Amino acid sequence: MRDLIARWRGESVVTAYDEPSDTWMFIALHDTTLGPAMGGVRMRVYPVIEDALIDAMRLAEGMTYKWATIGFGFGGGKGVLAVRAIPTGDERIRLFRRFGRLVESLRGGYSCGPDLGTTPEDMATISLETTHVHGVRGEGRETVDPGPFTALGVFSGIKAALRHIDGSDALDGKTVLVEGVGDVGAPLARMLGAANARVVIADLDAARAQALAEEIGGETVSADRVIGTVCDVYAPCAVGATVNATTIPLLQCRIVAGSANNQLFEPADADRLHARGVLYAPDYVINAGGATALPLLEMEDPSEEDVRGRIRGFDAILTEIFEEASRDACSPLEAAHRRVERRLRGDD
Ligand code: PHE
């Protein structure tokens, strides 16, 4: 872990070991140029603790880019709870209260919200200990689920990608493979189904995939056959790094556009996709719907329609990115990074 921290180009990593549950807690603070760090808290069982630290660091970096892209005054941070087993009941509540106290100890230097493996209800638990938590509103602790907002951004991004390649964003008859139908993938699949796309669903939980496919009139493919399935759009909506040097040569899609954070194993994968002629919608742009909705919905008198309008605007941001990439013959990730660099330097 010493080497990982020494090599990291972020600001700091807060580390706590939670003895009662044998959980390692990491809060990675990547870049606070634009404001205090804000980002979700993820809970997972990791094969080794180092993987959890790497996840926290890479996810925090993604948040820096996300905030800069959507023009919000927050810095990049992310929390990770590396648990032994997914806790339930009282055990879960106690764990999140202790994490809430850790967040509180930073006095606003980091604020959290839901991410993979954590729920709006967990945020309500955290809010018993700190106000530096998002997705919980008012005294009644009404929760806000960012998932459908993230899904809306991905839906708009898929249309932008189709339009860039085909000149039309009609989803009718287009095949979209949604990998992972959790809090984001499920609402995305529903929107795609309603737009008459042919939706193919994969999930580690085969029963969950089947039930959703039946609901929306879609199809399923087993989770281990996602790569290699022929489709127009591959939408990774689960864990990251599914797009890598091994999988890219096997992809049978024209577009990669989904909600997962860190879809690429490494930045060079963006060039590999580009070389294969697969259009990649940079993850931190297309999946910024939740990050857009959470702070806006906390403001006084938020209008959900305004928030949705802003998220639909990702279409225009991505279109600009795709056009800049075409013009400069670079990958869309490179074009998106340039925008972020301009923002962080204050040139934009
Ligand atoms: N975890 C989600 C994301 O990465 C939603 C979220 C955004 C949660 C910002 C907290 C803060 O975008």
**HEC profile for the chain?**
CHHHHHHCCCCEEEEEEEHHHCEEEEEEEEECCCCCEECCEEEECCCCHHHHHHHHHHHHHHHHHHHHHHCCCCEEEEEEEECCCCCCHHHHHHHHHHHHHHHHHCCCCEEECECCCCCHHHHHHHCCCCCCECCEECCCCEECCCHHHHHHHHHHHHHHHHHHHHCCCCCCCCEEEEECCCCCHHHHHHHHHHCCCEEEEECCCHHHHHHHHHHHCCEECCHHHCCCCCCCEEEECCCCCCECCCCHHHCCCCEECCCCCCCECCCHHHHHHHHHCCEECCHHHHCCHHHHHHHHHHCCCCCHHHHHHHHHCHHHHHHHHHHHHHHHCCCHHHHHHHHHHHHHHCCC
Nearest CA to ligand 1 atom 5: 290
Mutation probe of ligand 1 site: the residue of 115, 123, 149, 287 with most atoms within 8 A of C-beta: 115
Answer whether residue 108 shows pLDDT above 80.
Answer: yes
Q: What percent of the chain has pLDDT over 90?
A: 93
Answer whether residue 319 shows pLDDT above 80.
Answer: yes
Nearest CA to ligand 1 atom 4: 40
Ligand 1 centroid – CA 150 distance (Å): 9
Give the mean model confidence (pLDDT) for residues 262-290: 97
Query: Is the Cβ–Cβ distance between 256 and 244 less than 8 Å?
Result: no
Give the mean model confidence (pLDDT) for residues 60-80: 97
Q: Which residue has the higher pLDDT, 163 or 240?
A: 163
Confidence of residue 325 (pLDDT cuts 50, 70, 90): very high
Tokens found for residue 101: 């106290």
- Catalogue the active-site residues: 78
Q: At what angle do helices 314-328 and 304-312 cross, to 10 degrees?
A: 10
Facing residues of 16 across strands? 25
Answer whether residue 284 shows pLDDT above 90.
Answer: yes
Q: What is the pLDDT of residue 346?
A: 85
Nearest CA to ligand 1 atom 7: 291
Neighbour tally for 71: CB within 10 Å: 11
CATH superfamily, domain at 2-63+75-143: Leucine Dehydrogenase, chain A, domain 1 (3.40.50.10860)
Give the mean model confidence (pLDDT) for residues 282-294: 97
Lowest mean pLDDT among 52-61, 140-149, 263-272: 140-149
Give the mean model confidence (pLDDT) for residues 127-132: 96
Ligand 1 centroid – CA 213 distance (Å): 27
Give the mean model confidence (pLDDT) for residues 284-305: 91
Ligand 1 centroid – CA 272 distance (Å): 28
Question: Using one digit for the tens of pLDDT, what is the confidence trace for 17-69?
Answer: 999 999 999 999 999 999 999 999 999 999 999 999 999 999 999 999 999 99
Q: What is the CATH number of domain 147-287+316-343?
A: 3.40.50.720
Q: Which residue has the tokens 């906390």?
A: 298
Q: How many whole angstroms separate alpha carbon 143 and alpha carbon 336?
A: 32
Mutation probe of ligand 1 site: the residue of 29, 59, 63, 183 with most atoms within 8 A of C-beta: 63
In whole angstroms, what separates CA 334 from the centre of its chain? 19
Tokens found for residue 44: 């997972």
Answer whether residue 283 shows pLDDT above 90.
Answer: yes
Answer whether residue 299 shows pLDDT above 90.
Answer: no
Q: What is the pLDDT of residue 257?
A: 98
Ligand 1 centroid – CA 246 distance (Å): 28
Task: Break the chain into its structural domains and give their ranges.
Answer: 2-63+75-143, 147-287+316-343
Ligand 1 centroid – CA 291 distance (Å): 5
**Nearest ligand 1 atom to alpha carbon 261:** 4
Nearest to 149 by CA among 120, 184, 179, 178: 184
Give the mean model confidence (pLDDT) for residues 295-302: 84
**Nearest ligand 1 atom to alpha carbon 62:** 4
Facing residues of 29 across strands? 12, 77
Confidence of residue 130 (pLDDT cuts 50, 70, 90): very high
**Nearest ligand 1 atom to alpha carbon 116:** 1
Tokens found for residue 243: 């797009």
Confidence of residue 301 (pLDDT cuts 50, 70, 90): confident
Tokens found for residue 275: 């070389």
**Nearest ligand 1 atom to alpha carbon 112:** 10
**Nearest ligand 1 atom to alpha carbon 134:** 10
Give the mean model confidence (pLDDT) for residues 256-273: 97
**Nearest ligand 1 atom to alpha carbon 289:** 12
Ligand 1 lining (C-beta closer than 6 Å): 38-40, 113-115, 134, 146, 261, 287, 290-291, 294
Mean pLDDT over the full length of the chain: 96
Ligand 1 centroid – CA 63 distance (Å): 8
Question: Using one digit for the tens of pLDDT, what is the confidence trace for 189-230?
Answer: 999 999 999 999 999 999 999 999 999 999 999 999 999 999
Ligand 1 centroid – CA 290 distance (Å): 6
Give the mean model confidence (pLDDT) for residues 244-271: 97
Q: How many whole angstroms separate alpha carbon 26 and alpha carbon 24?
A: 7
Q: Which residue has the higher pLDDT, 348 or 276?
A: 276
Q: What is the pLDDT of residue 300?
A: 74
Confidence (pTM): 0.95
- Identical fold for domains 2-63+75-143 and 147-287+316-343, yes or no, is yes
